Amino acid sequence: MPTLAPTALDAAPPRAAPRVLWLAFTLIVLSLLALAWGASVGSTGFDSLRRAFDDPAAAQIVWDIRLPRTLGAWLAGALLALAGAVAQGLFRNPLADPFLLGSASGAALAVALAYAALGVGGMVAGGGSVALLQAASPWLARLGFTGAAFLGALGGVLLALMLARGVQQTLRLLLAGVVVGFVLGAVRDLVQLAQPDVLQAMQGFTLGITGFVGWGGCAVMAAVLAPLMVLAWALARVLDALALGEATALSLGLPLGPLRALLVGVLALATGAAVAQTGLIGFVGLVAPHLARSLVRCTHGPLLLLSTLVGGLLLALADVASRLVIAPQELPVGVLTAVLGGAYLLWLMNRRAGGAR
C-alpha cells in the first residue's frame, strides 16, 4: 500500500494518543461490566450468576443463554459501528450508516424468500419435506436463514456496485445504494403480500432481536470482526486522505479504485455478518462514530477502534435494557436503539443549530 505523507493527515492534537488509549481501556472495562450485567439479567437475577459454577441448571442459563446473547449483542454492535465509521469516512458524510448500500434491504428480501420457501411455499412445492426437515432440525433451518441474510446483504451491495459501475464515483455509488434499497424493499413487500404468513415470521428480523444468538453466532461474528478490524486499520490512512478531498488523495499517489473497493468490502462483510445474526438493528452504526468523535478528536485509525468499542457497548446495554423495560416481557432491541438513537441525533442537531446562531 502506498505510504501517505504525514504532513496533511496528522491533524489530531498531540495529546490525542494517550486519551485514545484511556478511552479504549475504559470502554473495554465498561463492556466487560455490561457482559456481566447481561449474564445476570433474568428471572433469577444475580443468583444464577453466583451459582453458575455449582448448579448445573444455573450454569446452563448463564453460559448457554444469557452470556452468548449479551456477547452476541456486543459483537453485532461492534460490527455495525465499524461499518458505520467506514461508511462515513468513505462517503465523507456524517449521516452515512451501514445500510446505505442496500445491504439491509437485500438481507430482508433474502430472509423473506427463505421463509416463503420453508413455510407455505415449501409445503406446496416440496410436498412438506422442507417443513419436516425444519421440525426435525430447527438449528439447520436457522442456519439457512442466517446464510440467506448474509448472502442477501452482500447481494444488495454487489447490485449497487453494478448499477454504479464500480466504486470510482462516490456520489453515483451512494445513489445506486438508495435505489437498490427501495427496489429490494418493494420486492420484499410483494413477497409478504403474496404469502401473508411470511409477514408475521419477518417481524422479529425487521425489528432486530438478539435473543436467538448462540455461541455459534458469536464465533461467526468474532471471526469476521477480527480480520475486518485489521484491514480497516490498515486502510485508515486512506480515509484520512479522502477526508481532505479526492484531488488531495490522488495527489498522494493513491489508487483510489482498488482501495475504495476494499473499504466497500469491509462495509459489506461487517454489515452482513451482523444482520445475519440479529436482524435489522438501526442507528447503532450511525450513532457510535458520532459518540466516538465527541469523546476525542483523532484520525480514522483510532476513530475506527473507538467506534467499534462504543458500538459494542451501546448494543450490549440496549440488549440488557430491552429485557428490563417491560419485564418480564422483552422489547425488540431494534426498537429501543431506534428510539434512543433518533433522540440523540435530534438533540445533536438542536445543539448544533443553537451553536450556529
Residue 70: how many CB atoms within 10 A of its CB? 28
Question: Over the stretch 110-139, which tens digit does the pLDDT of each residue have?
Answer: 888 888 777 644 433 333 333 433 443 454
Domain ranges of the chain: 6-355
Residue 345: how many CB atoms within 10 A of its CB? 15
pLDDT tier, 11 (very low <50, low <70, confident <90, very high otherwise):
very low
Helix (H, G, I), strand (E, B) or coil at 54: coil
Residue 233: how many CB atoms within 10 A of its CB? 14
Cβ burial 236-270 (10 Å sphere, 16+ → b, else e): bbbbbbbbeeeeebeebebebeebbebbbbbbbbb
**Amino acid, res. 258:** P
Mean pLDDT of 196-201: 78
If you ran DSSP here, which 8-state letter would residue 245 be given?
-
> Mean pLDDT in the chain?
81
Question: Over the stretch 234-248, which tens digit does the pLDDT of each residue have?
Answer: 999 888 888 887 777
Burial, 106: exposed, middle or buried (Cβ in 10 Å; 0-12, 13-18, 19+)?
buried
Q: What is the pLDDT of residue 119?
A: 60
Query: What pTM, to 2 d.p., does this model score?
Result: 0.84
6-355: CATH, from 3.40.50.2300, 3.40.50.970, 1.10.3470.10, 2.40.50.140: 1.10.3470.10
DSSP string, 251-291: HTT--HHHHHHHHHHHHHHHHHHHHHHH----SHHHHHHHH
pLDDT beyond 50 at 225: yes
